[in-house]
Amino acid sequence: MATQLSGPPVQISAERQIVAFSLGSELYGVDISKVREIIPSQKIVRVPRAPEFVEGIINLRGRVIPVLDLRKHFGLPRSQSAEDQRIILVEDEYDSIGVVVDAVSSVMQIPVDSIEPPAQVIVGPDVEYIEGIAKVDDDLIVLVDLTKIISDAEKRTLKEAKNP
């Protein structure tokens, strides 16, 4: 005989796990499934004639990885403090890149129903990397796909910088 449960139906809320990071006073988040690791800032070797947003390359356990400065990519002023600065290593199906951020604050579980699509004002081909805006308490977190943040032309430039 089947057992019947009484009471209100249980609602299971889907969640996304993100790595929250800051650039200045703004909060951003990236899906944890795209993050390979987070490392302290380290010596970055400059690459001649690389685009301005390319900080250079690092050698991480024998792998040469290009590193981008998100502040430069977003047109933000240069950070004065490097104490909390981190490099977030992200991977897509083809390659790995490092992204310099001011600080990584936490790994968060965000209910999917608290994420809104980007406003019509900010969508377009130049910002296809914005996945949505999450409302967490009194904060807004811009969710970005760091693997989409660079264009195909920029990816080719990075490959050339990585293999001079």
Extents of the domains making up the chain: 16-162
Q: Read out DSSP for 12-74?
A: PPPEEEEEEEEETTEEEEEEGGGEEEEEE----B--TT--TTEEEEEEETTEEEEEEEHHHHH
Q: pLDDT tier at 155 (50, 70, 90 boundaries)?
A: low
Q: Which residues is 133 bridged to in the sheet?
A: 116, 142
Give 16-162's CATH code, choosing from 2.40.50.180, 3.40.640.10, 3.40.50.360, 3.20.20.140.
2.40.50.180
**pLDDT digits 0-9 by tens, 88-118:** 999 877 778 899 999 998 899 999 988 888 8
3-state helix, strand, coil in the chain (%, to 5): 20, 45, 35
Q: Identify the bridge partners of residue 88 per DSSP, sorted by sequence position.
A: 38, 99
pLDDT of res. 57:
92
pLDDT given for residue 131 in this prediction: 87
Is the pLDDT higher at 53 or at 44?
Answer: 44
The predicted model scores a pTM of 0.79
pLDDT at 54: 85
Average pLDDT, the chain: 80
33-37, 93-97, 158-162: range with lowest mean pLDDT: 158-162
Task: Give pLDDT, residue 27.
Answer: 93
pLDDT score recorded for residue 95: 76
At 128, the pLDDT band (50, 70, 90 cuts) reads confident
What is the per-residue pLDDT for 30? 94
Between 54 and 154, whose confidence is greater? Answer: 54
**What pLDDT digit, counting tens, does each position of 46-80 carry?**
988 887 888 889 999 888 888 988 888 777 887 76
Which pLDDT score is estimated for 143? 92
**68: nearest Cα among 150, 126, 125, 144:** 150
Residue 91 has what pLDDT? Answer: 83
